[in-house]
Structure 1
Amino acid sequence: MPFPTEAAAIWQARIADMIVHIQQEEYGIPITREQQPDLQDIAGFYQHGSGNFWLACVEERVVGTIALLDIGNRQVALRKMFVHHEYRGKTWGVSHQLLEQAIIWARQQGMTDIYLGTTPQFKAAHRFYEKNGFVEVDQQELPASFPVMQVDKKFYRFLVEENGRVNE
């Protein structure tokens, strides 16, 4: 579901709790909620232009997120792709559904490229992106408007019109 603007503070807290837990506890990335201003104003940060933010929920529990940030020139940056460890893999298909939704949205918005930056620790994520049509690129190949995060060391590009459906 797209990020709900009603009760935004409650949802933002749930989203931030899940994301920060994954970053800190699973991957040992020393980043805090406060160091991620986009988590303090999700709608204001992501939901403008061709950007958007989606949640995967089981009842009231956030189990996955994905966002597209409009960076201009018919390009978007994929951000905040996180799935709770209990909901990863083919059984639940959360990663697949989130990525599929983002790609459909990008096509509907007339986007040409989706870029993303990630950390070297996210090996399973690298395999997932590569299996789904993302191609690794050098940082120098990123558009000037791409927001490189401090932890980003590995970068990918997805050509929206050249790639078909997402694979789990």
Structure 2
Amino acid sequence: MRIVQYDQLDPEHDADSIVRLITTIQIEEFGVATSAEKQPDLRDIPGYYQYGAGSFWLAFEGGELIGTIALKDVGDGVCALRKMFVKKAWRGRERGVGAKLMRTLLDWAREHGVREVYLGTVDVYHAAHRFYEKSGFIEVARDEVPDTVPLMDVDVKYYRYRF
């Protein structure tokens, strides 16, 4: 398994595969009321994520896209963790895909002077909640999340990581 930053992808990579991976997990697996149209960042990854301390990473096994994670710089040493998704067959401690994506993001954030990382998530991602907590995130109230952190209208749980 290899992790690749979006800006280092082969130009021939099928950009729609990112949209398909994420929306399939959101909609078909978890029944989240969202769509690709409600997530314009997926069609403009460089413009939305790749500036300041932000970036976007993809996990591949062979040529298959199996996971994503993104860091959005919102200013003042604060970033948002976004788009953490791993294909069902590749989840779990034994596979380590999620852990490797998270380590990549947190190492990058630390190296780029980020002080805090926030995220919002839906209530049905129970395994993800445990994963975030094991990764060092703590649950916080909505009013503790800076207004600059982008959230989805379906988010109901919020987490913070401090360096």
Q: TM-score w.r.t. structure 2 length?
A: 0.93
Q: Distance in 2 between matches of 1:142 and 1:113?
A: 10
Q: Distance in 1 between matches of 2:40 and 2:79?
A: 19
The aligned counterpart of 2:102 is 99
Contact 1:14 1:61 survives alignment (8 Å): no
The aligned counterpart of 1:113 is 116
Report the aligned-residue RMSD: 1.2
Q: How does 1:26-41 map to 2 (within 5 A)?
A: 26-41=29-44
Matched, 1:75 2:78: yes
Contact 1:115 1:157 survives alignment (8 Å): yes
Over 3 Å off, 4+ runs? none
The aligned counterpart of 2:59 is 56
The aligned counterpart of 1:140 is 143
Compute the displacement of 1:12 (Å). 2.3
Offset from partner CA, 1:47-77 (integer Å, 9 cap, x none): 0111000000012211000000001010100
Identical counterparts, % of pairs: 45
Closer/same/farther in 2, CA of residues 94 and 5 from structure 1, 3 Å limit: closer
Q: Distance in 2 between matches of 1:11 and 1:50?
A: 25
Matched, 1:7 2:21: no
Contact 2:33 2:154 survives alignment (8 Å): no
Structure 1 unpaired stretches of 5+: 161-168
The aligned counterpart of 1:126 is 129
Q: Distance in 2 between matches of 1:41 and 1:12?
A: 10
Q: Distance in 1 between matches of 2:23 and 2:140?
A: 27
Q: Distance in 1 between matches of 2:94 and 2:54?
A: 29
The aligned counterpart of 1:165 is none
Contact 1:12 1:42 survives alignment (8 Å): no
Corresponding pairs, count: 159
